Amino acid sequence: MQTNKQGLPYRPGLVARLEGQRFGLLTVISRAQNAGGYAMWNCRCTCGAEIIVGGNRLRQGRKNRCASKVHKAQRTMSLTVEYKSEYQSWRNILDRCTNPDSEKYAIYGARGITVCERWNEFKNFMLDMGRKPDPRFTIEREDVNGNYEPKNCRWISRKDQGRNKRNSVFVTYQGRKLLLIDLVEELGLSRQLVYERLKLGWTLAQAIALPNGSSINRGRPRGSYKKKNKACTTN
């Protein structure tokens, strides 16, 4: 004997009884008048709204809530919780481009850098960018003077992002022009130490050649300032 999905004997024209069953946020209350050849059912949503839904749509999972904006807000909220790191990055780019009170507005919004209209909604931002490979990743613009939009943005580690800034420092070393951050990494030096030496007036050769223990005296390697004073005294 043939049976239906509920295990009941199959009979042509027999309608499965759905009263009392729950499908997502909808609970079936009673049978409604057929429509388009389908059995229809009166359903009550968890928000209190009552709607009529086709039995086939309920069983196939194509309808499991009413169209209330309450549920849309709940879905948006769940996105911000599930993708917390990505949501914070999204909020940050909106803030720096649209909020004059933001600390970074001067170097973003004030320079004319904008966020594309599509990304005014977080769900669209997530559809285009996807999840971060790592929560510590940040958003980068390929063109540092371009806008925040799908074709110009990607997730990148903070280390790699340091290579693509307007104030990135390029140096020439052994006939090669390269980023200072790459040279320091290539030579196995302390980036912080080399940068501090350069800020204090050391030449590139001194900054990368002298050992870590070399002292700094008014921006010069040890001894250079004393020699200058001695020369002045002699004259």
Q: How does pLDDT run across 187-227, given as a tens digit for each residue?
A: 777 777 887 888 888 888 888 876 666 655 545 555 544 44
Number of alpha helices (DSSP H) and beta strands (DSSP E) in the chain: 9, 10
pLDDT at residue 31, as a whole number: 92
For the chain, how far is it from start to end, CA to CA, in angstroms?
118
User: Cα separation of 143 and 79, whole Å?
Assistant: 29
Residue type, 103: E
Domains of the chain, by residue range, sit at 1-67, 77-161, 170-234
Q: Among 45, 41, 39, which Cα is nearest to 65's?
A: 45
Higher pLDDT, residue 171 or 203? 203
Q: Is the pLDDT of residue 23 over 80?
A: yes
Please determine, for residue 232, whether its predicted confidence score (pLDDT) is greater than 60.
no
How far apart CA 127 and CA 17 sit, in angstroms, is: 39
pLDDT at position 172? 78
Looking at residue 88, what is its pLDDT?
92
| DSSP structure string for 83-107 | THHHHHHHHHHHHHHH-TTSTTGGG
| Calpha distance 206→57 (Å, rounded) | 75
- Mean per-residue pLDDT of the chain: 78
Q: What burial letters (b/e) apply to 161-200, b meaning 16+ CB within 10 Å?
A: eeeeeeeeeebeeeeeeebbbebbeeeeeeeebbeebbee
* 208: phi then psi, degrees, rounded to nearest 5: -100, -10
The pLDDT of 127-150, averaged and rounded, is 90
Q: What is the pLDDT of residues 76-118, one digit of tens each?
A: 667 777 888 999 999 999 999 999 999 989 989 999 999 999 9
Angle at alpha carbon of residue 124, lines to 117 and 85, rounded to 5°: 110
What is the C-alpha separation between 46 and 19, in angstroms, rounded?
A: 16
